[in-house]
Structure formats: structure tokens, C-alpha cells
Amino acid sequence: MYLKLSWRNLWRNRKRTLITVSAIAFAVLAAVFMQSINRGSHEMMIDNMVRFHTGYVQLQDYRYDEEASLDNAFPYLPETETRALQAHDRITGVIPRIETFMLAGNDHTTRGAFVLGIDPEREHDFNGLRDHLSGGRFFEPGEDKAVVTEGLARRLELAAGDTLLLIGQGRFGMSANALFEISGIMRHPLHEINEQTVYLPLHSIQYLLSADEHITHLLIALDRERDTRNVRQALQQEFQDDELIAYTWPEMMPELLQLLEFDLVGAYVMAGVLYIVIGFGFFGTVLTMTLERMREFGVLLSVGMKRSRLAGVLLMETLFISFIGVLSGLGLSWLVLYYFYLNPIELTGQTAETIIEMGWEPILPVSFAADQFYTQGIIVFCIAVVVFLFPLLKVMNLNILEAARK
Amino acid sequence: MENTIIQTFDLCKIYNPDAVPVHALREVNISVAEGEFTSIVGPSGSGKTTLLNMIGGLDKPTSGRVAIDGKNITGMKDSELIDFRLEHIGFVFQHYNLIPVFTALENVAFIMLLQKRTKKEMDERAKSLLEAVGLGERMDARPAKLSGGQQQRVAVARALASQPRFILADEPTANLDGDSAMNLLDIMEKMNREQNITFIFSTHDQRVIDRARRVITMVDGGIYSDE
Ligand SMILES: Nc1ncnc2c1ncn2[C@@H]1O[C@H](COP(=O)(O)OP(=O)(O)OP(=O)(O)O)[C@@H](O)[C@H]1O
Ligand SMILES: [Mg+2]
């Protein structure tokens, strides 16, 4: 019957309650949506960076971080690979790479280039590298050819079938010069890489750089992002006597993370402002709901209703409003997110061009992470509790006679 | 008098003691016995409401005290008083008696819910009380759908529902037209006669005064006559 009392009180002023409820629902929707888009794009960015750039976890020689030189490459033998794969059961694969800088040239000019020695099969499995080819074909394993990214190819006026000149230094100062036939041109999703990169088969570059059976990086693929730290731990353990060190992707890209966090703070501030506005509206409703019933409260206390009981009834009213608001807001958010999940928002104009330039799809991906749903619920619940302080104080300090006279 | 329920001892109430003091009650001594049908009359501002509020434990006297069934209620804490009122006193106010979102039946049952009665008892008693005040047909109507007289009859039914020692009614007929007022009085009188329920009510209405068996007249905060 107390519940009935609260519930019916809500609908005494139907319009006002509906307005409050829809304001809360709207705030929840807006907050979830903003966060979701934000997180969605962050997840996409991180995923791209991890797949093309660093891997979730990476093994390097412990000196490499200080001096990123081929001299600090480490031996990569079949046994190394087995040990890495067995270090943790969430590891789904390992991707060996050699990274170095060389001069890339045609018959009359040269440019600085980022040269990557890779195992094309494994790279493709990890990040679908071959799908980004824009001309020619990818070199087969065992083939002695090069793939050049679009930006570099454009600068050097090279195309598939042309010959690429590479000049540089191998391990321990050995000179390393060679000519490679270009088998294909690719458009790399990460802009910086697209401007300056040459891909070579791992064995070719090892030979060229006098670095047989050596690599500079071993990328680790996982089936779940959240195992990153554990896997790092396991690898650290396994390879500590080999003078190798394992890094997680956040350690390797602190700037990116900072940037994303900064971005998130912006979204939080916006959501915060939104909630403050909604909080005041909610407060206004509860305020009038309380003030216009002072006389009724006076009567209830007169006839013998305990103050705590009455406060309980009012608390239920406040909670009802917030629950209905949150639930409809979440329901709505779910529908909206689901819609945009199925039909991603296509970006247009300037932004879209920039994003296409970066090789990404010009869409705003949404994140479906569950926690953003209940976080909003908790926030609104906290607001409700704060808002409830007003009627609580009023009821606890209510002077029966004064209330009755108003 | 045997079976005294209410007794006041040198009851004084001074409003605004610091600024312009208003002596609302001056050493009022009255006692009310079980089964009385008493009205308190007097000009506006003579202290009727103040006296009823003191007896009902809604306000504290400046000096003196009120005893109900020999129990001194003047020294009770707010929370004790709330419980005391619930168990011992029935209230009928001039207006805004009822919970607007509850039906007549629920309004009457609610007071028994506060007393933690069983659901069955609540329902049966609420129904029989509403029938007794002539509202057997309107039990499911909300107060807004009832006339002023009907609302006051629901209030009387509610006041009776808690099985109090007595019922206090401050100008229960003030907002009613003549017929409704007489009708309400009929019901109160009948309850008094048949069930020995004690009523104390204040009023301005001469026809209501005529129905009382004891009339206490107040003037300027004191008892002028008691007959
Ligand atoms: N809260 C208060 N503060 C100050 N003075 C008050 C207060 N309540 C009542 N009074 C004064 O106390 C005196 C008695 O008031 P009370 O309400 O008891 O009179 P009453 O007999 O009920 O009058 P009425 O017939 O108009 O209802 C009046 O002079 C009134 O102005
Ligand atoms: Mg009065």
C-alpha cells in the first residue's frame, strides 16, 4: 500500500512526471550515445594501431628501446617461436618483424624509408595486409621482391614491376645495398606508414642486413585484448634469461592513449554538464512535488504516520522516477545503438576525406560495451539520492502546525 | 466524574513570547470523561484550535500539561507522540483530511496499515465503517469525486478506524452546507450514542452547538463557561 501510495503520487501531475522522466531518459540516451561513439572510434583506432603497428604485446631485446639499431636485434629460431607460443594459452600467434631505416630510390633520387621485413602469411592473418594492395600483388613467401606503400611510390614515381633501390647499413656496420623488383603497391591504413614504407620478405632483409636468423620485434597476437597484461607477464618470465623484454601496447603508444583519454575527458565533461542540467530539472520536480504537499504531510504526521515512513514513501517516488527514466533511456539507447551498429553512421565532407585518407572506413563505429549502460544507471541513481535529500530534510524538520496552516 | 480521559492542568500557551506575546491559552483546566459529546465554542481567536492542538499532542504548551488516561503527553518526544496519536486519538480536520490519491476505502484502511493490522481486518473494518457513515456505495471513489460532506464522513470513518480513545474535530462542519453539516453531526451523535465514542469538536455554528451535550465556551484564551 505504501508502494501504491508512491506510485499514484507520481501520476498526480502526469505531465510533470512525464517531462522529468523523458528528460532523464534523454540524458541517458545522449550520454550513452556520446560515449559509445567515442569508445567505438577509440576501439577502432586502437585496433588499427595494435594490428598494424605494435601487436598487443611485443618482444624486443632489452637494449633496443634505448638504441633502436639492428645491432640490438635478437636471434629468432624455431625454438624461440615455440617458447613464445607456449608462454600463455591466450597467445594465438607470433609475427616476427625486422624494422629499420634505409634510403629508397629510383634511378635518380632517393628518400628515407621505413623498411619492414615480414612474413607475409602471418601478417595477413593478423591484420589482413594483402587486402590493402592497390596495385600488383604481394610477394609470395620465398620470393625476393618488395611491396611499396602508395605515398613512397608516388614520391619516387615507382609502380609495380619497376625496380627499387635500397641503400643502408646492416648489422655491425656492414653495408647493405640491393635492388628489388616491386611486386605490388599498397595503401596502408596508418597515414605515417603509408608515406614511407617498404615491405620485404623476412629472409631477404635478413640476408641484406647481414642479420641471419635475427629480428628486431616479435609481435604477439591474442584472442582477447584484456589478457594483454597477463601475457606480458608470462613472456617476461619465459624470456628473462634471453635478455628480451615484453611491452604491452599501451606502453608502446603512450601518446595515443593520452590523446584518447583526453578525448574521453571531453565526453565526460559534456555528459557531466548534461547531467547537472537534468539533475536540476529533476530537483525542480521533486521540489514542487514536496512543497505543494506540505499540508498533506502535516495531516499524515498528525494522524500518526512516522516521519521515516513518510520519507520512505517519498524516496520511492524519487526512485520510481529515476528508474523509469533510466530504463526507458537505456532501452532507447539500446535500440539506437543497435540501429547504428547495423547501419553505421557514414561520415561526409572534410572529416570523411581525412579518414578515408587514413585508410579507414568513413563510419562512426559504436561500442556496445555493457558497462557504459549500467554506469549511466548508477549515475542517475546517485543524482536521485542527492535530489531526495530535499524532501528528506523537509519531512524530518516539518512542523506539523505550520504545515497545516499553509 | 468517573473515567476521565482528558485532563489539562493550568494549560498556558503564549505565541511570540519574545516579540508581541499572544496569550492564546490562560491557565485552562478542563477534563473530559469517556462518552462525552463536547463542543468548544467561542469567538474567533479565542483559543479553540490552540486548545485542541494541545490535547491532540500536535503542539506543546508554554506551561501546564495535558494528561490522557492519566498519562502525561506534554513531556513526550516527537516520535513518541506520533505513535501515541496513532493509537489513542482520532483526528478530523477542517479540510485536507484525506490522501487524494487513495480511494475512500484506502484512506480508511491506511490508518490501520500504520497500526500494522492484518489486511483482512483492514478491509473488513474499513468497509463496515464506511457503511456506517453512509458511504457504502462510494468506497472506491477518490476524495476529489466526493462532496465536502462525504469527505468529512470519510474522515470520521478514518478517525474511528484506529479505535482511538477519543476523536478531536476542529471545526469539522466549517466548510459544509447546512444539510451536510447536520448529516455529519447525526453520524457523530449516533456513534457517540451507540458505541460510546468520545467526541470533542470546536465550532462556530449555532445549530451544531445546539446538538452538543456539553458546551465549553472560551473567551480570550480562558474558559468563560462550561455547561
Ligand atoms: N502560530 C501562531 N503564532 C502566533 N499566534 C498564533 C498562532 N496560532 C494562533 N495564534 C493566535 O492565538 C490566538 C488563538 O488562536 P486560535 O487559532 O486558537 O483561535 P481559534 O479560537 O481557533 O480561532 P478561529 O475561530 O478563528 O479558528 C489568536 O489570537 C491567534 O492569532
Ligand atoms: Mg480555530
Listed by number, the residues of chain A in 328-357 with a beta carbon closer than 8 Å to a beta carbon of chain B are none
Bridge pairing between strands A110-118 and B4-15: unpaired
Closest ligand 1 atom to the C-alpha of B13? 12
Give the CA diameter of chain A. 102
Q: What is the mean pLDDT of chain A?
A: 85
CB A40 within 8 A of CB A298: no
Q: Which residues of B touch A404 (CB under 8 A)?
A: 93, 96
d(CA A59, CA A78): 15
Which ligand gives the minimal distance to the CA of A405? 1
Which helix (H) or strand (E) segment holds residue A220: the answer is: strand A217-222
Residue of B13, B52, B68, B101 for testing the chain A interface, max A β-carbons within 10 Å? B101
H helices present in A128-227, as ranges:
150-156, 191-194, 202-208
Contacts of A323 (CB under 8 A, 6+ apart): none
pLDDT at B161: 92
Whether B106 sits inside 8 A of A1 (CB atoms) is yes
Structural domain boundaries of chain A? Answer: 2-49+256-404, 63-242
Q: Do B86 and A300 touch (CB under 8 A)?
A: no
Q: Are A185 and A130 in contact (CB under 8 A)?
A: no
- Which ligand sits nearest to residue A404's alpha carbon? 1
Q: What's the gap in Å between the CA of B144 and the closest CA on chain A?
A: 12
Q: Do B59 and A401 touch (CB under 8 A)?
A: yes
B143 in A contact zone (CB under 8 Å): no
pLDDT of A291 above 60: yes
C-alpha A39/C-alpha A366 separation (Å) is: 7
Please state which of the ranges A50-54, A110-114, A173-177, A303-307 shows the lowest mean pLDDT: A50-54
Helices A2-10/A307-342 angle, 10° precision: 60
* pLDDT above 70: residue A23: yes
Q: Which amino acid is at A16?
A: R
* Cβ of residue B206 lying under 6 Å from some atom of ligand 1: no
Q: Measured from the CB, is residue B13 less than 6 Å from ligand 1?
A: no
ipTM of the complex: 0.90
Q: Of A128, A174, A125, A166, which Cα lies nearest the Cα of A145?
A: A166
Q: Is A349 left (phi over 0), alpha (psi -120 to 50) or beta?
A: left
Distance of CA A150 to the CA centre of its chain: 27
- Residue whose cell numbers read 614504407: A197
C-beta of B224 in contact with ligand 1 (< 6 A): no
Q: Whose CA is nearest to atom 22 of ligand 1?
A: B49
CB contact (8 A) between residue B100 and residue A296: yes
Among A303, A309, A402, the residue to mutate for chain B (most B Cβ within 10 A):
A303
Inter-chain contacts counted by CB atoms under 8 A, chains A and B:
66
Phi, psi at A290, each rounded to 5°: -80, -50
Cell of A22: 523523458
**Residue A1 — pLDDT band, cuts 50, 70, 90?**
confident
Nearest residue to B155 via CA among B171, B88, B165: B171
Alpha helices in A202-303 (DSSP H): 202-208, 228-239, 249-252, 254-291, 294-303
Looking at the predicted structure, is the pLDDT value of residue B1 above 60? no
Q: Is A76 helix (H, G, I), strand (E, B) or coil?
A: coil
Q: What is the pLDDT of residues B157-212, one digit of tens each?
A: 999 999 999 999 999 988 888 888 899 999 999 989 988 999 999 998 888 899 89
Of all residues in chain A, the one with the smallest CA distance to B168 is: A303
pLDDT tens column, A115-134: 999 998 888 888 888 888 88
Q: Which residues contact A393 (CB under 8 A, 6 or more apart)?
A: none
d(CA B192, CA B36): 8
Q: What's the rounded Cα separation, in Å, for the pair B214 and B212?
A: 5
The bound ligand whose nearest atom lies closest to the alpha carbon of B169 is: 2
Dihedral in degrees, nearest 10, Cα atoms A198, A202, A203, A204: 0
Residue A223 has pLDDT above 90, yes or no: no
Note whether A193 contacts B: Cβ–Cβ < 8 A.
no
| B16-68 pLDDT tens trace | 878 888 889 999 999 999 999 999 999 998 999 999 999 999 989 999 999 99
> Taking CB atoms and an 8 Å limit, are A303 and B58 in contact across chains?
no
> What cell numbers appear for A139 in the block?
610477394
Q: A99: which DSSP letter?
A: E
Helix (H) or strand (E) holding A47, with range, is helix A14-49
How large is the average pLDDT for residues A190-209? 89
Q: Do residues A202 and A117 make contact, with C-beta atoms less than 8 angstroms apart? A: yes
| Among candidates A5, A296, A302 on the partner chain, residue whose Cβ is nearest the Cβ of B85 | A302
What per-residue confidence (pLDDT) applies to B90? Answer: 94
- For residue B218, pLDDT beyond 90: yes
3-state secondary structure chain B: CCCEEEEEEEEEEEECCCCCCEEEEEEECCEEECCCEEEEECCCCCCHHHHHHHHCCCCCCCEEEEEECCEECCCCCHHHHHHHHHHHEEEECCCCCCCCCCCHHHHHHHHHHHCCCCHHHHHHHHHHHHHHCCCCCCCCCCHHHCCHHHHHHHHHHHHHHCCCCEEEEECCCCCCCHHHHHHHHHHHHHHHHHHCCEEEEECCCHHHHHHCCEEEEEECCEEEEEC
Query: Between chains, do A304 and B114 touch, taking CB under 8 Å as contact?
Result: yes
What is the atom index within ligand 1 of the atom nearest the CA of B48?
Answer: 21
B158 vs A: CB within 8 A = yes
CA of B49 to the centre of ligand 2 (A): 4
Handedness of CA B180, B185, B190, B196 (dihedral sign): positive
Summarised one tens digit per residue, pLDDT across range B114-167 is 999 999 999 999 999 999 889 989 999 999 999 999 999 999 999 999 999 999
Query: CA–CA distance from A401 to each of B15, B59, B131 (Å)?
Result: 13, 7, 32
Mean pLDDT is highest, among A25-34, A68-77, B47-56, for B47-56
What pLDDT sits at residue B83?
A: 92
Quick one: average pLDDT of A180-195?
87
A188 or A190, which is more confident: A188
Grid coordinates representing B81? 507522540
Which of A5, A11, A303 is closest, CB to CB, to B86? Answer: A303
- Considering only the beta carbons, identify the residue of A9, A11, A306 that sits closest to B82: A306
Burial of A300 by CB count in 10 Å (0-12 exposed, 13-18 middle, 19+ buried)? buried
What is the pLDDT, as a whole number, of residue A352? 65
